[in-house]
Amino acid sequence: MTTENSKETAKKTCPITDILESLRKQLHTEGQLPAKIRPAVARVARIVTEITLGRGSVANLEELSKAISELGAIAPSIANPVAASLKKDREEWENHIAGNLCSAGTCFLPRSAPCQVACPAHIDIPSMMARVGHGDYSESLSILAADTPLPDSCGLICPAPCEDECVQNAVSGAAVFIRPMKHVAARCADIKPDLEKAEPTGKKIAIVGCGPAGLTAAYYLAQKGHEVEIFDEREHAGGIMRYGIPNYRLPEYKLNAEIDVVKQLGVKIHLGYTVRQAREFLDKGYDATLLAIGLQNSKRLGVPGDDQDFVIGGMDFLSAVRSGKNPRVGPHVIVIGGGNAAIDVAMTAFRQGATKVQMWYRRNRKQMPANPHEVELALAEGVELVEFWAPTRIHPDKQIEFERSRYAPDAKTTPPVTVRADHIFAGIGQEADLSWLEGTKIETEWGNIVCDPVTLQTGEPGIFAGGDIAHGASTVVAAIGSGKRAAESIHSWLMGVPADYESLEPKRRDEVPFLSSTPEHRTSPKRAHIEENDPSTRKFSHDFMQKDWDEKVAAVEAERCLRCDICIGCGLCELACIEVGAEALKMVETKGGRMVFKDFTTPAEKCIGCGACTSVCPTGAIIVEDRDGYRVTEITGTVVRKQALEICSCCGETFSASAKQLQQTRDELGKMTREGILCPACARARSAESMKEMQWMAQLF
């Protein structure tokens, strides 16, 4: 039943977008529309699309009315809803055209690449990959440096939310292998980015915590001219990246190199420093403080017996290993949890003496929050996954009781089980000690510091919070994004200027030429992979577990990128192609109504080289031009059609009409070929001669 509240919270839609989606659906449903109707439907859809892109004018409404009338003559059931909307929602249509105003707020939005939007740091992924594809590694690294101080680390450990949103998922079923491209750029770059620093501002900032959020904030604040000092209680810098991520995933020397980049900006890092009170830096004369301490402590399991010596926090275990304490475990180890940290604990347990490692999780593998590839790595090393069980009690004799999870299909009929293990690890999350916030106006909620979601400022003026301690346990790249925002907010607060939050949104950092590729490869489901060391031997070593990704393989993989930074997915080209009757371009709709090419091979048979697609493309993603006697159609760097131009039978010059285009035009007009094929200039000359003959003949009558 629909309630008043549900009506109020229902997402408002744009009537113009609704019309467009309906028309697209009919065009893309195979066999729904007769061939003779499709051009008329496409024409209406094209005009509506132009309006939603902010390219509409009063003339468009007149053109649309005419197109609807023509469509109504052959398909009234399709035309009538459009005509009704044009009448009923006239004000909405006029607002779209006159002021680029959409009452639902769904039109006229930036059409950034989905991968870049999904990245918490908003890295310009298409440009970065294109540079790798061209072998311009230093330029690729410069693109990365604009949005992260930790490109190499991200290239090794990021869970790649960008790949989840890659449009290749809808096209080929296999996203472009984005994550390691960053590692290739960082590894192969000959020249490191030249980071410019603004003139000194005289402002001094203290950052508590030397993890990804703290390092990122320091990186950007230093470039803005501020004096930045980081304070951390650990022996070494890096935070979660050093003490929570195993060396076999993120080697120490790679992390050290990226921390050195931050230091070279003049950032001072004080290690072994324990903060006593959140206001202490303001009291010492610092102008602002950023709290970016992360979540250093493991959460307990929350069942009776979880405080015994053989029950160990997963993060505590990983930290002990990275600190060089070499804790030995096993032979039988049970890890409770299903996230990335739990995976790291399970794999590290083998390297610390375990011979049998099990992960007991309350849901199934498909529902695990851990990165699927990380799960595969763990299973390959021999980690056993036991699904649909939750712990209820741990006994002093090292036995742990489990009950069937309520998520299990047989939860009501399966009895509890008891299992013995030498060590039990809690891999269910992390938390922080926030006792040092006492005596301040800083509030906490669910173990996190409460701060403004936009400015990240806490209840204590001049104190900001970022990273996991502010938004909860997440990823390194999420902490990087938080650090960027914190830097912008702190700079704004210190300098008394408006914060430029727009600069944090996805932006193109470079204009990179297209990569050349074959039509077959652009939509190939064959995704590249990185070779890893043999799991039977690597499970006993803390050495880096993967081999360096060959840059030539990376370049070939980069060609699979569909360049969503340039092709904005408006679908105008496909509609124009249908409108002229060629039906050469085939697109599929992805998330958010974005259109993407699903087939680069069809144009080879159907493209007539008319140029209708390129005439409506707003970004230059499609090129149709004459090259060396051929009409070439190119989509984001891939030549999809190359057809010989016609040769004038009179002057012998080629002219801008491919044989197929000319033939189709003649077929439609019902004209027969007479006296060969003439270019426009010769045709005009021949016509002029004919007119003279006709005038001479007229004198006879």
User: Per residue in 212-263, pLDDT tens?
Assistant: 999 999 999 999 999 999 999 999 999 999 999 999 999 999 999 999 999 9
Does one domain contain both 232 and 328?
no
For the segment 630-652, the average pLDDT, to the nearest whole number, is: 90
For the segment 129-135, the average pLDDT, to the nearest whole number, is: 98
**Residue 266, domain CATH:** 3.50.50.60
pLDDT of residue 647: 83
* DSSP letter for each residue of 573-633: HHHHHHHTT----EEEE-GGG-EEEEESSTHHHH-----HHHHH-SSS-EEEEEETTEEEE
The set of residues, in sequence order, having a beta carbon less than 8 Å from that of 120 and lying 6+ positions away, is 161, 475, 477, 478, 480, 481, 482
Does one domain contain both 233 and 175?
no
Tell me the percentage of the chain whose pLDDT exceeds 90: 86
pLDDT of residue 592: 83
Rounded CA separation 512/130 (Å):
7
Instruction: Please report which helix (H) or strand (E) contains residue 387, including its range.
Output: strand 384-387
Are 242 and 210 in contact by the 8 Å Cβ rule? The answer is no
Show which of 455, 478, 502 is a domain's final residue. Answer: 502
Q: How confident is the model at residue 629 (pLDDT cuts 50, 70, 90)?
A: confident
Domain that holds residue 167: 114-193+514-558
Domain membership of residue 576 (yes or no) is no
Does one domain contain both 335 and 422?
yes
Domain count for the chain:
5
For the segment 463-492, the average pLDDT, to the nearest whole number, is: 97
Domain membership of residue 695 (yes or no) is no
Q: Provide the pairing of β-strand 430-431 with 444-445.
A: unpaired
Does one domain contain both 442 and 490?
yes
Does one domain contain both 328 and 422?
yes
Domain membership of residue 310 (yes or no) is no
Domain membership of residue 565 (yes or no) is no
Average of per-residue pLDDT values in the chain = 92
Domain membership of residue 306 (yes or no) is no
pLDDT of residue 1: 38
User: Is residue 672 over pLDDT 50?
Assistant: no
User: Is residue 12 over pLDDT 50?
Assistant: yes
pLDDT of residue 7: 40
Does one domain contain both 326 and 420?
yes
Show which of 109, 126, 154 is a domain's final residue. Answer: 109
pLDDT of residue 675: 55
| DSSP assigned state of 673 | P
Domain membership of residue 694 (yes or no) is no
Q: In this predicted structure, which of 33-42, 127-136, 461-470, 642-651 has the lowest mean pLDDT?
A: 642-651
Does one domain contain both 495 and 464?
yes
User: Per residue in 56-90, pLDDT tens?
Assistant: 888 888 999 999 999 999 999 999 999 999 999 99
- 674 or 567: which leads in pLDDT: 567
User: Per residue in 518-529, pLDDT tens?
Assistant: 999 999 999 999
Q: In this predicted structure, which of 262-271, 558-567, 654-663 has the lowest mean pLDDT?
A: 654-663
User: Per residue in 81-123, pLDDT tens?
Assistant: 999 999 999 999 999 999 999 999 989 988 999 999 999 999 9
Does one domain contain both 292 and 436?
yes
Does one domain contain both 188 and 211?
no
Return the closest-CA partner of residue 664 out of 610, 605, 618.
610
Phi, psi for residue 200 in degrees, rounded to 5: -55, 135
User: Is residue 41 over pLDDT 50?
Assistant: yes
Q: How confident is the model at residue 451 (pLDDT cuts 50, 70, 90)?
A: very high
Rounded CA separation 267/225 (Å):
11
Which residues lie across from 418 on neighbouring strands?
401
Domain membership of residue 464 (yes or no) is yes
Q: How far is CA 600 from the centre of its chain?
A: 23
For the segment 339-360, the average pLDDT, to the nearest whole number, is: 97
Show which of 427, 462, 493 is a domain's final residue. Answer: 427
Domain membership of residue 569 (yes or no) is no
Does one domain contain both 668 and 621?
yes
User: Is residue 701 over pLDDT 70?
Assistant: no
Does one domain contain both 325 and 416?
yes
User: Is residue 135 over pLDDT 80?
Assistant: yes
Q: How confident is the model at residue 698 (pLDDT cuts 50, 70, 90)?
A: low
**Residue 162, domain CATH:** 1.10.1060.10
Does one domain contain both 444 and 423?
no
For the segment 288-292, the average pLDDT, to the nearest whole number, is: 98
pLDDT of residue 23: 96
Tell me the percentage of the chain whose pLDDT exceeds 70: 93
